[in-house]
Copies of this chain bind each other. A is one copy, B any other.
């Protein structure tokens, strides 16, 4: 049951098309009601698209298995599990068949869906250490039905490496720019691109990078227009927003 269905239901109650009691029954039958004391986090209403998402951090393998099974029984064909480290993957995969994307720390049940748009999301990083966050973004974007182009280790200190990807930047429909340390990539890419840029600061760095704060502030203060920012290391969130834009 996706978000607009829920809103419609609330509307139907308001117009009298549905009684309160009936609506309550419908809502109670929703997956978020089924697992009792430890309700699964369905990544909040993310049910409208190609599949379903489980945020794996802070969940036991048992909880992840239960939620996945519950979703599959409710007809979900593709399920994305984020922040699933290798140890958790090993446990979960004993019960459920998963494609595991190790660098992205993502498991997918039911296989990767086919792209359902023609636009392309460019995922670009400043360094190699940013790749885990980039892969979380790239795999999520693919799961949500997008074509993804990856360009990694194209930091601004070697501007020739970045300029070599002019074409990719020009042709992208949305760009996810990922960088730790000083996070300058977002501004330079933002200055070159004609499309929206979602900037993802990463916790890559040491000392005065303060776990990603330096890159975060850089990106928020970007002198380039068209740049908006998500939380540190939030590859999933960037991909979700980028997919929304790409599906317009």
Contacts and interface: CB of A to CB of B under 8 A. Distances in A.
Interface of A: 3-4, 6-7, 10-11, 13-16, 19-20, 23-24, 27, 32, 37-46, 48, 57-59, 63, 126-129, 131, 152-153, 155-161, 163-164, 166, 170, 173, 181-184, 186-188, 190-192, 194-196, 198, 201, 203-234, 236-238, 240-241, 244-245, 248
Contacts of A225: 43-46, 157, 236-237, 240-241
Closest CB pairs A-B (n = 6): A207-B232, A184-B184, A157-B191, A228-B228, A157-B224, A214-B217
Contacts of A48: 194
Contacts of A223: 44, 126-127, 155-157, 181-182, 184
A153 B232 contact: no
Contacts of A11: 166
Nearest to A119: B248
Contacts of A45: 157-158, 191, 225
A126 B39 CA distance: 11
8 contacts: A7-B192, A42-B158, A44-B225, A45-B225, A181-B222, A182-B219, A207-B211, A209-B221
A207 B196 contact: no
A215 to B, nearest CB: 8
B222 A229 contact: no
A35 to B, nearest CB: 9
A12 to B, nearest CB: 10
A10 B167 CA distance: 12
A219 to B, nearest CB: 7
A128 B190 contact: no
B184 A187 contact: yes
A241 B41 contact: no
A206 B229 contact: no
A205 B204 CA distance: 18
Contacts of A192: 3, 7, 159
A237 B207 CA distance: 13
A236 B227 CA distance: 12
